[in-house]
Amino acid sequence: MKLKFLTPILFLSLILLNSCSKEDAIANDVANRTQEIQKVVFEVPGAKNISTSGTMLSFSSFEEFESTVSNLVDLVDAHEDVFVRQYAELSDEELNAIELTTGFVSQQPLIDFENQYGFTNSLRKKYNELEAIWLNNEELDPTTDPDNTIYFSAAEQTLINEHQEVMVAGKVYVFSKMSNTFEVHDEYGASLAKINNNEDVSQDPNITSYEKSNGSCTV
């Protein structure tokens, strides 16, 4: 009895098919798990950009937020895996060159998620813009590195707006690497305006402040 071996092209095709199926399965799982997520808009008095100020995503709980982050990370990993498997024989340097020539976007699943909700003012988008500007300098000044003020992962940045705000369980959280974290219970628009203007909110019954955070999106 003769043993039949798969041709390299067929073998690669099966690997890619399996990878694509995995990415599709994760994408469907993310879609099913994120049906309760909503985009909310609060009118912030005196806001410079009316179209995006006070616009954020709303989650029913921090567990839902964290599970969404985990699902997005898995989706990005699967997306990258599909691409890398096509060029398994290449070195990292050669692979980077292929990424540039083919226009591969590793964060495409994150972009797709934002587009799904019409979420145009994500922190991820702002961070990438700031990082591109910073990297475009001939000499990199570590004091102006965007990482100094933004510490969230790309998946977390996808779920938070450019002002580092997100709504969880009916409360708006405002995160900052440079100051305290704020929790807004009511009068959302007016309260966000006070925080954005660096007003003293220590006596405001609608706002609770917490000591400066150092990690992920938790209080």
pLDDT exceeds cutoff 60 at 114? yes
- What tokens were used for 180? 């305290």
Of 5-9, 56-60, 84-88, minimum mean pLDDT range = 5-9
pLDDT of residue 50: 53
pLDDT at 157 over 50: yes
The residue-averaged pLDDT of 65-71 equals 96
pLDDT digits (tens, 9 = 90+) for 167-214: 999 999 999 877 789 999 999 999 999 998 889 999 999 999 987 655
How high is the pLDDT of residue 35? Answer: 65
- The span from the CA of 112 to the CA of 108, in Å, is 6
pLDDT (average), residues 213-218: 53
pLDDT digits (tens, 9 = 90+) for 6-15: 444 443 444 4
- Say what the pLDDT of residue 22 is: 60
- pLDDT one-digit tens code per residue, 123-146: 999 999 999 999 999 999 999 999
pLDDT given at position 12: 43
The whole-angstrom separation of Cα 190 and Cα 104 is 42
Average pLDDT score, the chain: 84
pLDDT at 48: 66
pLDDT at 32 over 70: no
For 121-126, which contacts have Cβ atoms below 8 Å and span 24 or more sequence positions?
A: 121/52, 121/55, 121/161, 121/162, 122/157, 122/158, 122/159, 122/160, 122/161, 122/162, 123/150, 123/152, 123/156, 123/157, 123/158, 123/160, 123/161, 123/162, 123/164, 124/154, 124/157, 124/158, 125/162, 126/162
